[in-house]
C-alpha cells in the first residue's frame, strides 16, 4: 500500500495567515484535521501604512518555524477575483474527445491568449452511455501566468513546494 501523506491548506488572507493540516482518516474513507495554525498580522494588508510583502513574509516565517511541511502536500488558496471560473455542459461526446472540446471551449471562454494563462478543467458528474459522456458539466479555471507566479512567490522564496492552487470564493 502506498504511503498516504498529509496535506496542508494555507490561506494568506487580508488579516491573517490560516493553515489546516489534514491526514487520511483511520478507516481511509475521509480526512481528519490534525493540526492548524492562525497567525494574525499586526496590520490589515490593505491599510495605507501596511507593507503587505513584509507582513506576509513574517507570518509565513513564523508558520514555518512552528510547523514541519516536509513530506506533506501543500495547497494554497488565492482570491477568486485573481482567476476565472467558467462552466459549460458539453454535448454528448465520446469521453476520449472531451479534452479537445474543453480546449476549444477554453479558447472561447478565457478572454486571454491561452499561452498567457495557466488553466485546467474538471469534469463534474456525468455518466457514460454506449461510449458517450452524458449530462456532464465541465469547469474551466484559469489565472494569468504573472498572477500565479505572484501568488507563489512568498512560498518559493522560502523553498516551500506548492502542489496545488485553489481559487477561493
Residues of the chain with pLDDT under 70: 1-4
The pLDDT of residue 113 = 94
* pLDDT score of 131: 85
- List Cβ neighbours of 100 (8 Å cut-off, separation of 6 or more): none
CATH code (residue 30): 3.30.420.40
What 3-state DSSP class applies to 104? helix
- CA 67 from centre of chain: 20
Query: Is the domain of 121 the same as that of 149?
Result: no
pLDDT for 95:
87
Residue 96 placed within a domain: yes
How many domains is the chain partitioned into structurally? 2
Question: What pLDDT was estimated at residue 3?
Answer: 66
The pLDDT assigned to 1 comes to 43
Q: What is the pTM of this model?
A: 0.85
Model confidence over 62-105: pLDDT tens digits? 999 999 999 999 999 999 899 999 999 999 999 899 999 999 99
Amino acid at each position: 500500500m502506498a504511503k498516504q501523506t498529509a496535506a496542508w491548506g494555507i490561506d494568506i488572507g487580508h488579516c491573517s495567515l490560516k493553515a489546516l493540516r489534514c491526514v487520511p482518516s483511520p478507516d481511509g474513507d475521509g480526512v481528519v484535521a490534525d493540526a492548524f495554525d492562525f497567525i494574525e498580522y499586526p496590520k490589515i494588508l490593505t491599510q495605507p501604512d501596511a507593507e503587505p510583502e513584509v507582513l506576509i513574509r513574517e507570518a509565513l516565517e513564523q508558520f514555518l518555524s512552528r510547523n514541519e511541511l516536509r513530506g506533506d502536500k501543500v495547497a494554497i488558496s488565492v482570491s477568486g477575483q485573481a482567476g476565472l471560473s467558467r462552466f459549460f455542459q458539453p454535448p454528448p461526446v465520446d469521453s476520449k474527445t472531451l479534452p479537445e472540446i474543453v480546449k476549444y471551449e477554453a479558447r472561447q471562454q478565457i478572454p486571454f491568449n491561452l499561452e498567457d494563462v495557466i488553466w485546467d478543467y474538471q469534469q463534474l458528474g456525468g455518466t457514460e452511455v454506449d461510449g458517450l459522456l452524458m449530462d456532464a458539466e465541465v469547469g474551466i479555471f484559469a489565472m494569468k501566468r504573472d498572477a500565479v507566479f505572484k501568488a507563489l512567490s512568498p512560498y518559493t522564496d522560502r523553498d516551500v513546494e506548492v502542489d496545488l492552487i485553489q481559487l477561493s470564493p
